[in-house]
Amino acid sequence: MTPAWATHPASQFPRIHSTRSRIVYGFLTLSLVYLLSVVLWKNESRILEWESVAIVKEEGAKSESPIVDVSKWKDGAIPIPYTNEQWTPYTPSTAKQPHEQISVDYIHSALSTEYYLPVHPSPLVQPVAQAPDWQQAPLSCLEELIGNGTTCTAGWKAEQRLDFVWTWVNSSDPAWSHSRASISSRLLGGNGKVEVDKANAMAHFRNYDELRHSIRSVLEHFKSYARHFTILASDFAPPNEHSSLPSQLRLGQAPQWLDFTRSPSEWRDGDVRLRINHHANVFRPYFDTIFNSFAIESQLGNLQDVNDLFVYINDDMYFLRDLKPSDFFNSAFGFVFRLQYWTQVPPTLDPDPQRGEWQNLRESNVLIGQRFGPTTRPYRAHMPKIMSVELLHEMAETFSDAFARTGARPMRAVWLDGAAGDIHPGFMFVHFVVERWREGLLWSWAVARMGGDDDAWDADAAWAELRGGEDEMVVGHIVRDTLSDTLQQLKSAGYEGPESANYYFSSMDGYPYYEVRQNETMEHPKLLDPNLCTISRAKCFPSSIASASEAFKHIAFVRPECGDCIINRLVQNSGRRGLSAVLPKSQRTFATTTMGPISETLPRVPSWDLGAFALSDVLTHGSSFGRVVDVRAWTLRMLNRYRFVLADSNYIFARLNNEENAHSQLDGLLGHEKAFACVNDDVGSDEEAVAVEGVMREWQELRWGTPAGWEAA
């Protein structure tokens, strides 16, 4: 063998080339390792490792601005809206350059051990103007359902599967705490550069793993009828002003028990898909992080990729037994609403607002009263709630100023010194639907049935139609069969009977609050009362009224007790089923005179006196000039939007105060007689909270210990 030193230099060229290749390959390998340390590919998911600066107060560190004192407001809830500080709303992302957006599934920060979803605020896509599935019943079906009060024989079946939407925030996330402190500073005129004590921030908020088990409970008891689960979560700007992340990028929170080794598109459990949506892509306009649950609820009408009918559920609510779609909605009776008649919300503003929801409830009832007439209205039970995206959007358009005001308030605060409170969308929704139904019934009779094409009004004919006496009529003892064969009607519509909802009043039997307005009763409506109400001709049909639309406004809003009693009379005159005495005559048509957007319902105005209700005002907005509108068909479709049934269900609202109380409250839920539970953390001290957390976690795992398909192993 020739020694290496004796080898001709030319023969060393391949070896030199090989060495250089190894150096190049080594450099490339190190580069690849570096890149993989930034973007990790774990199975099908892509994770961006983000190295941010510390957001936790360090010993001896000095803040660039004084620590903000928010102790003057309980829980740090500052009553200052974003709009007061002239905050610039986020502009929906239109970035097209690759460097302006990142294409990863997750962002991970080793400093907080949290995984986030990248959020690029994007424009809302306007949906195609098409009625949701549940509103697409054939006209013949609506004639049977509303006109006759019978079942649909046309073979039409509505989609039964429902979506579920949870609102959630991880308030123990240090980055979230930093965002709240920074925004509090800016609201108070500071520069937003604050110190956050991690220990205190973590201790102030408690997490008992409620969301995971709330979702599991729905999977266990409703999986066959569920379509999509959506978590509506918080997002915030990265807390590092020197971050190399794109300027428009926001960090979207995600429950840390999710499987981050898979792409979010693969989060499924059987046919049920889980998705996370963030506030930046729902709020319009969106200023910054929202900490106000009422503000979040005010934007539910902007949800996209969610079935129009969905169940809105808080993360501390649970299903305790198997339930059916007819516990929430069905095409035979409509929405299923649960009310607490024993808890009444006054139609006046709260004179001494305190922490809680009463300022918001009363603010909302005042708004509903300005639009539909004032009255005390019952509280909506604190249970999972059926909602409609389209009707939420309609409600937001009707009360646009109030919804915009609430949506721009970052904190759930008490508003004093004459400032209007936040709205309570969950409470408003049920009463908006009920009052739209009442308004629709009275408009159908006074304008579409009794009024002329030119809005003419004949009081004598209207009085005769009601079959009244000379000066007044007493209405009572209304016998109806609407709910006498509920299970058969549901079966004919393709539904199984409800497991927990006990129907006690149908919208097909009129207006459920007539006694509440008349007597401030806290009991369910009683149609069999022989003296329900009295209609006075002089009071309800004064001679000064000259048009059908004016007559409608008078009985619906000026003298609402007249409208309530007239509805009772029309229900009675319709017989045991249906609303034949309410609807316009068959074959009635009206020729439009102007062009405009297609009208689906009555005016969307915040106050009734701002609305124009004549046929020529309501029906002239058609797709073309001179279009002939079938008045009865239009009215049937309008009324169908708001059909409902009131129901009672067994549920429990548990307040956990201490370990002993927690055992007592939760042990009582081990049976199956209750349908729902809401478990509220009312623990005063952190020491007690540790014990309560143990009880709570043990109870949840005992009830719903099976992991969902999207959970990490």
- What tokens were used for 442? 């009275």
Number of domains within the chain: 2
In sequence order, what are the residues at sequence separation of 6 or more whose Cβ sits closer than 8 angstroms to the Cβ of residue 184? 68, 70, 76, 78, 194
pLDDT at 311: 98
pLDDT at 226: 97
Query: What percent of the chain lies above the pLDDT cut of 90?
Result: 61
Q: How confident is the model at residue 672 (pLDDT cuts 50, 70, 90)?
A: low
Using alpha carbons, select from 680, 185, 689, 173 the residue that is nearest to residue 411.
185
Q: Which domain holds residue 31?
A: 20-49
pLDDT at 110: 67
Q: How confident is the model at residue 101 (pLDDT cuts 50, 70, 90)?
A: low
Out of 636, 653, 670, pick the residue that ends a domain: 636
Mean pLDDT for 262-279 is 96
Query: Where does residue 443 fall: left (phi above 0), alpha (psi -120 to 50 degrees), or beta otherwise?
Result: alpha
State pLDDT tens for residues 136-188.
999 999 999 999 999 998 888 888 999 999 999 998 888 888 888 888 888 88
Report the distance separating Cα 457 and Cα 465, nearest Å.
13
CA angle at 204 for the pair 203 and 208, rounded to the nearest 5°: 75
State pLDDT tens for residues 312-346.
999 999 999 999 999 999 999 999 999 999 999 99
Q: How confident is the model at residue 67 (pLDDT cuts 50, 70, 90)?
A: very low
Average pLDDT over the chain reads: 85
pLDDT at 8: 35
Report the distance separating Cα 397 and Cα 298, nearest Å.
11
Report the distance separating Cα 326 and Cα 458, nearest Å.
43
pLDDT at 139: 95
pLDDT at 64: 41
**380, 426 contact by CB (below 8 A):** yes
Of 58-62, 225-229, 404-408, 600-604, the poorest mean pLDDT is in 58-62
pLDDT at 100: 57
Q: How confident is the model at residue 241 (pLDDT cuts 50, 70, 90)?
A: low
pLDDT at 366: 97
Q: Does the pLDDT of residue 27 top 50, yes or no? A: no
CA angle at 636 for the pair 371 and 328, rounded to the nearest 5°: 75
- Is residue 471 a part of any domain in this protein? yes
pLDDT at 132: 85
State pLDDT tens for residues 582-594.
999 998 999 887 6
Residue scoring higher pLDDT (5 or 232)? 232
- Is residue 35 a part of any domain in this protein? yes
**383, 678 contact by CB (below 8 A):** yes
State pLDDT tens for residues 371-428.
999 999 999 999 999 999 999 999 999 999 999 999 999 988 888 878 888 999 999 9
- Is residue 458 a part of any domain in this protein? yes
Q: How confident is the model at residue 34 (pLDDT cuts 50, 70, 90)?
A: very low
Q: Does the pLDDT of residue 203 top 70, yes or no? A: no
Which residue's structure tokens are 């049977």? 144
Q: Does the pLDDT of residue 26 top 90, yes or no? A: no
Mean pLDDT for 77-90 is 78
- What tokens were used for 26? 């080594």
Report the distance separating Cα 215 and Cα 202, nearest Å.
24
pLDDT at 313: 97
Q: How confident is the model at residue 38 (pLDDT cuts 50, 70, 90)?
A: very low
Q: Is 369 strand, coil or helix?
A: helix
- Is residue 524 a part of any domain in this protein? yes
Report the distance separating Cα 312 and Cα 304, nearest Å.
14
Out of 621, 636, 651, pick the residue that ends a domain: 636
- Is residue 185 a part of any domain in this protein? no
Report the distance separating Cα 166 and Cα 232, nearest Å.
6
Mean pLDDT for 215-244 is 89
The H-assigned helical ranges of 271-388 are 293-297, 358-372
Report the distance separating Cα 318 and Cα 211, nearest Å.
9
Q: How confident is the model at residue 354 (pLDDT cuts 50, 70, 90)?
A: confident
Residue scoring higher pLDDT (40 or 455)? 455
pTM score > 0.85 for this model?
Answer: yes
Q: Does the pLDDT of residue 59 top 50, yes or no? A: no
Query: What percent of the chain lies above the pLDDT cut of 70?
Result: 82
Beginning with the edge strand found earlier in the chain, give each strand of the sheet holding 45-49 in spatial order.
Answer: 39-42, 45-49, 106-109, 114-119, 250-252, 235-236
pLDDT at 565: 97
pLDDT at 63: 39
Mean pLDDT for 603-612 is 97
pLDDT at 483: 97
Of 36-45, 464-473, 620-629, 668-677, the poorest mean pLDDT is in 36-45
- What tokens were used for 185? 């500073």
- What tokens were used for 256? 């840390």
State pLDDT tens for residues 7-19.
333 333 333 344 4
pLDDT at 42: 42
Mean pLDDT for 493-497 is 95
Of 351-365, 522-536, 580-594, 664-678, the poorest mean pLDDT is in 664-678
On the CB side of 483, how many CA atoms lie within 13 Å of its CA?
A: 18
Q: Is 174 strand, coil or helix?
A: helix
